[in-house]
Structure 1
Amino acid sequence: MTDDRSDSRIAQAHTAAAELRVLIGKLKRRLRERMALDGITLSQLSVLSHLDREGPATISELARVENVRPQSMGATVAGMQAAGLLNGEPDPGDGRRHLLSLTPMAREKIRTTRAAREDWLFHAIRERYNASEQDALARGIGLLKRLVDD
């Protein structure tokens, strides 16, 4: 005999997973709309974000992370270097490789983009939710963190 509560919890978890996936996709699109890309493609933005989080990397490392061929990443990186977003210098451990890092201009673009997205979120939360809903949202964020924290 099956436990009806167990079955309903399983169904609830499936529904929550599907709704959360859709919701996160919509939130990502909304945040993307708030970005000041200034001619930066989404693949370039992904490279900038990776270098900001993880530090300098080679073209091969970036290609592996972005799941593209090194030749494709080389073209992306060349455009970013020409735009003044990346610096390249020999790897101190292996002079045959070049490490790519962010320029001050790239760091400023990242900072302003993040600030614009956080500002939109801040205003949306303040305008759309009352105090008790904001408290519930804050508690929900803690629960969501547990999904991604190891």
Structure 2
Amino acid sequence: MNTSPDPAHDAFAFQLAEDLRTISGRLKRRLREQADPGDFTASQKTVLLRLEKDEPITLSQLARSIGMRSQSLGEIIVALEGAGQVQRAPDPNDGRQTLLSLTETCRHRIQEGRATRQDWLYRQILGSLSGSEQQQLANALTLVRRLVER
């Protein structure tokens, strides 16, 4: 790790940051293209992914965790509930509260979407990169992982 002030090194690191941001955005868009055209809105995806991680959870807890007002979130939940993706159940510890969770249908849909995107990426790697390039990619991912997990 280089900590000395070096304008050339700083410019190089800045360009790397820009390239990585741009490429990761393109990859995200390409993966999104593989999704079912009837996929969810960005807000709905945020809610579903948070529910998948933290369920069961109350509406107010969910709103706080994603930085949204409960009223706005309520509209999203109603739409997802109507689409059979989210379900409500009474909180066994506090009858005044309602807990939100994903339906089995939604869990299955999320898994299928991930599998579709994973398969597309796998085919791209297999069809576009040689064995040594795949190893270079693995090495680069180790470095990217270190950047994100720091």
Give the alignment's TM-score, normalised by structure 1: 0.88
Q: Distance in 2 between matches of 1:67 and 1:37?
A: 27
The answer as to 2:8 corresponding to 1:8 is yes
46-55 or 14-23, larger mean C-alpha shift: 46-55
Q: Deviation at 1:39?
A: 4.8
Q: How does 1:38-49 map to 2 (within 5 A)?
A: 38-49=38-49
Q: Deviation at 1:32?
A: 0.8
Give the paired residue count: 147
Letter in 1 for 2:114: R
1:23 equivalent in structure 2:
23
Q: Distance in 2 between matches of 1:109 and 1:92?
A: 28
Q: Which runs of 4+ in 1 moved over 6 A?
A: none
Letter in 2 for 1:76: I
53-62 or 80-89, larger mean C-alpha shift: 53-62
Name the SS of the counterpart of 1:9 in structure 2: helix
CA RMSD of superposed structures (Å): 1.8
The answer as to 2:87 corresponding to 1:87 is yes
Q: Distance in 1 between matches of 2:125 and 2:70?
A: 41
Name the SS of the counterpart of 2:84 in structure 1: coil
Q: Distance in 2 between matches of 1:38 and 1:55?
A: 24
Identity, in percent, stands at: 41
Q: Distance in 2 between matches of 1:58 and 1:18?
A: 39
